[in-house]
Amino acid sequence: MKYFIPENIPRRKRIILGPVARKLIVLFNWEIAGEFPNHKKMVLIAVPHTAMRDAWYALLAVLALDLKINFFGAKWIFTRLPSFFTISKNLDKLGIPWPLGWLQSLLLKRLGGIPVYREENKGLITSVIEVFSDFDNFVLAIAIEGGGFTSKDNPEKFRSGFYYIAKGLEIPYVPIAIDFENREFRIMEPLFVASSFEEESARIRDLFDGVVGATRTFTK
């Protein structure tokens, strides 16, 4: 697997995980299409995010490319195992606790994970802008869909975090399609915030219209 990474994209050489991930992503028949823009700072937005396996394939791609990124994740995925059954109404305590949760948290944070406390995330975006404004370069990956994986969720309503981070730092956001039909991560052209959140959301919906996810097709 060969892929060109521009010089401004932060990277982390992984002696073991990199080669293993490259073999696995080929084994699973996934490809990476398009090119990363040569910007020092950017926000990646991936759509549609319909199942936990999206995240694992995306992680393989990050490791395979030796990328150094940061990503938001619900607090529970840092210490708990996924479950088909909800055992708590607290959004920070979904999944099933297990003895190696501490190791899971350590590894995900080592990979760039930032836990989001969904029960009390006020001020999160402001904090992110303050922290990343001092970085020379960074790539932040965000799943922007408002819904999760159940029929009661509303995937058409995007979370606004990506918008305010990109606008506040005056950096581009890069749409990436998680395309299960063609089994590829399709990197699109970078976009800069040029209008209201509602107008930017409409522009993004047009880009992803018809992309087939793991469990549903995105429709605008």
- 108-117 pLDDT, tens digit per residue, is 888 888 887 6
Residue 142's identity, in one-letter code, is: I
Number of compact structural domains in the chain: 1
> What tens digit of pLDDT does each residue of 2-12 get?
678 888 998 88
CA distance 173 to 191: 5
Asked if residue 10 belongs to a domain, the reply is no
Residue 120 CB neighbours (<10 A): 11
Asked if residue 84 belongs to a domain, the reply is yes
Enclosing domain of residue 59: 17-208
Asked if residue 53 belongs to a domain, the reply is yes
CA distance 114 to 141: 10
CA distance 182 to 3: 18
Asked if residue 31 belongs to a domain, the reply is yes
pLDDT in tens, the chain (220 residues): 667 888 899 888 888 989 999 999 999 999 999 999 999 999 999 999 888 788 889 989 999 999 988 887 777 888 888 776 666 666 667 788 899 989 999 988 888 888 876 655 556 778 778 878 888 888 999 889 855 544 344 555 788 989 999 999 999 999 999 999 999 999 999 999 999 999 999 999 999 999 999 999 998 8
Continuous segment of H or E residues that includes residue 62: helix 52-64
Asked if residue 70 belongs to a domain, the reply is yes
Asked if residue 49 belongs to a domain, the reply is yes
Name residue 47's beta-bridge partners.
177
Give residues with Cβ within 8 angstroms of 174, minimum separation 6: 36, 37, 42, 43, 44, 45, 187, 188, 189, 190, 191
> What tens digit of pLDDT does each residue of 180-213 get?
999 999 999 999 999 999 999 999 999 999 999 9
Asked if residue 95 belongs to a domain, the reply is yes
Asked if residue 218 belongs to a domain, the reply is no
Give residues with Cβ within 8 angstroms of 119, minimum separation 6: 90, 91, 92
